[in-house]
Structure 1
Amino acid sequence: MTVTNQQQVEQGDKKQKVENPKVKSIKDFYRRLKKNKAALIGFYTILILIAVSIIGPFLTSHDPNSTNVTERFQGPSAEYWFGTDHMGRDIFTRIIHGMSLTLGIGFASVIMGALVGIPIGIISGYYGGRIDNIIMRLIDILLAFPGILLALAIVSILGGSLVNVTIAVAIYAIPGFARIIRGSTLAAKKLEYVDAIRALGAKDGRIIFKHIMPNVLSPVIVNATLYIASAVLTAAGLSFLGMGAQPPTPEWGAMLNDGRGYMYDAGHIAFFPGMFIVIVVLAFNIFGDGLRDALDPKMKK
């Protein structure tokens, strides 16, 4: 083998050893996330909850809505892991089936809120002027209402159902996304390379989607994670008040309401759905805090 051929082979080996930038960035992100042990626990807890919500309903042996008055108020046992409620329904089965509903409301409402709030925030921040003033005043009006009261008013108008609860929580999430994206857009559009691209004749659409959008995604991801926790809590609160899921839907907030009248005689009816609401909300909150640190450029070394 000639020297030239040997050099070419060595260069080829070096090229093969070059790591994919995307893989490297994922590994770097995970490395920074591991520094926050609580965030890592929250991340794995979320993965477990999602997995259980998908495969759990196929593994339960009881019907979540099947009543058996002879088995009412049974405590936790080998047959009924979390006991039974006031109608003899297996609480463990209902929690497993309700997990997909609770997480589904959280993810769906945040996605809907982001799809509306992100364009509004970018338009407001990028164009400024009168458009910005009008949009921000409307956002301020929505923010003037406490989140649960705004969602409650919307559900009162639309009617009580899981779909309407999702819409109400999504509307409540829009102002938060819009304000965060507006602030990030105001900072991004002042960068020197954006001015240079605009001077070269780039259209607003190209600047927004290719240069502004990538710079504002990090706060969106963090905000979305934290809003899922808020969405789950709001949806559970609406169902607890009777404005969300309707009987016999196994939604955790509705289950909590069912056990409210039996706190002293059969406290397990309210304890287990309440415990899982706390677990979900806590997992997303601590994961969101760790995600903020992992995506913060100032934390990179």
Structure 2
Amino acid sequence: MIKNIWKDRFFIVGFLFVFGLLMASFYHQIVLDNEIYEEQYIYDEEGMPKEKAPFEPSSHYWFGSDRMGADLFSQIISGAKYTLGFALVVSLLRVGLSFIGSFLLWRAGRVMPFIKGLSQSFYYIPSALLIFFVVGPIIQLENYTFWEKAFFEMLLIIAIAVPNTSILIKEEINLIEKEEFITSAKLMGGSRLRILAKHILPHLWPKLLLVYVQQVIAVLLLLAHLGILGVFFGGTTMREFTNEYEIPVSDSNEWSGLIGGYYYQLRLAPWLVFFPVFSFAAVILAFNFMAEGIKRSANKLPIPKTVKSKGERKPNISLVENKSFVFLSQKKTG
């Protein structure tokens, strides 16, 4: 399974895109000291200002700039490690806790239908609205640090997905238990723990990897929705936009904060919202490529190889093809 994944083109393309983006973000953090280039005026050859921020996308500003002259491309690269890192860690904790929860549900018995019905109620409650009403007022407080706000938001995002994901993994285990090799292992007297370790888990890991990638996509979509609602990863700071009202600004350059912070400048500079949304779409597409690669690799079964012994003779194919069966004469000696 693992070898097949690294041979699949879909998975490689998606993985290299995400990995390259993360490496560029860490390079910007370590080497460039996370510096965001800002310039409010562009001057001509005579030193006179010819253009004022916000600047449109150009060879100088690839993704344009905001009204303060901050380079949007640098902000997206800087915030990639927060956005992707948050999605990867949260999805890993989601799958890990759900994996443990699936084994707790293994012996649920008659209570299982009640638990399944209760968890399905979360489908009818939008996760973004739930987090908005619970987390929104808390992360705007200045009494908590960046990491305290991030930890609280992370806990809630993990908690709302664990019940349904646990049931999903439990159903995958049920499908594996219906296979013939599991029945044979039970008939041969295999214990429940041995069947789990030797037979169920080897077939469950590829599906867990696929669930993990799907959870990453779900978390990225959730972050994009929260950005529109003004709830940003790690906290929100209200800054004065005009003399009449303030706008929410992310404490970091993570992408949901860029969407929510620049949403109020959509008419003034539409590229400020387009490129963060495009970044989300590109990363989600890359993870969809990885998910497709995992599915394709799981469907590729290894072809068994026949091993010939040294003294084995090649059968007479023409004799077998001409006759449906062959009588063999054998003389008894001695």
Structure 2 distance, partners of 1:156, 1:266, is 26
> What's 2:86 paired with?
105
- Structure number with the higher strand fraction is 2
Larger helix share, 1 or 2: 1
Question: Offset of 1:83 from its aligned partner?
Answer: 2.8
* Structure 2 residue 116 is matched with structure 1 residue 144: no
Aligned equivalent of 1:53: 25
Structure 2 unaligned segments of length 5 or more: list them: 42-51, 141-148, 237-249, 304-334
In structure 1, give the amino acid aligned to 2:265.
Answer: Y
Separation in 2 of the partners of 1:257 and 1:99? 16
Q: TM-score, normalised by structure 2?
A: 0.69
Give the stretch that moved more between structures: 193-202 or 258-267. Answer: 193-202
> Given that residues 102 and 170 in structure 2 are in contact (C-alpha distance below 8 angstroms), is that contact kept between their aligned partners in structure 1?
yes
Please, which of 213, 216, 221 is the counterpart of residue 233 of structure 1? 221
- CA distance, structure 2, for counterparts of residue 26 and residue 241 of structure 1: 39
Using the TM superposition, give the Cα deviation of residue 153 of structure 1 relative to its aligned residue in structure 2, in angstroms: 4.3
Q: Distance in 1 between matches of 2:214 and 2:265?
A: 32
Structure 1: distance between partners of 2:14 and 2:176: 31
Match in the other structure for 2:96: 115
Structure 1 position 277, deviation (Å): 1.1
Contact 1:29 1:294 in 2 (8 A): yes
Answer yes or no: is 1:277 the counterpart of 2:265: no
Change (3 A) 1:215 1:132: farther
Q: Distance in 2 between matches of 1:290 and 1:212?
A: 22
Cα offsets for 1:109-136 (capped at 9, x unmatched) = 1111111111222332x32413423432
Q: Is the 8 A contact 1:165 1:244 kept in 2?
A: no
Q: Secondary structure at the residue paired with 1:51?
A: helix
Q: Give the structure-1-normalised TM-score.
A: 0.76
Preserved CA contact (<8 Å) 1:139 1:175: yes
User: Using the alignment, how far apart are the partners of 2:132 and 2:97 within structure 1?
Assistant: 20
Contact kept? 1:62, 1:90, Cα under 8 Å = no
Letter matched to residue 107 of structure 1: L
RMSD: 3.0
Indicate whether 1:164 and 2:140 are aligned.
no
- Unaligned runs of at least 5 residues, structure 1: 1-24
- SS of residue paired to 2:87: helix
Deviates more, 1:140-149 or 1:94-103: 140-149
**By how many angstroms is 1:59 displaced?**
4.5
**Which structure: larger Rg?**
2
Change (3 A) 1:237 1:144: closer
Q: Paired residues, what number?
A: 270
Distance 1:144 1:107 in 2: 25
Question: 1:287 corresponds to which residue?
Answer: 290
Q: Partner amino acid for 2:295?
A: R
1:189 aligns with 2:177: yes
Q: Does 1:296 align with 2:277?
A: no
Aligned ranges 1:1-301 → 2 under 5 Å: 26-31=2-7, 33-34=8-9, 38-60=10-32, 63-64=35-36, 72-77=53-58, 79-124=60-105, 126-156=106-136, 159=139, 161-195=149-183, 197=185, 203-245=191-233, 246=236, 247-296=250-299
Measured in 2, the distance between the counterparts of 1:167 and 1:44 equals 29
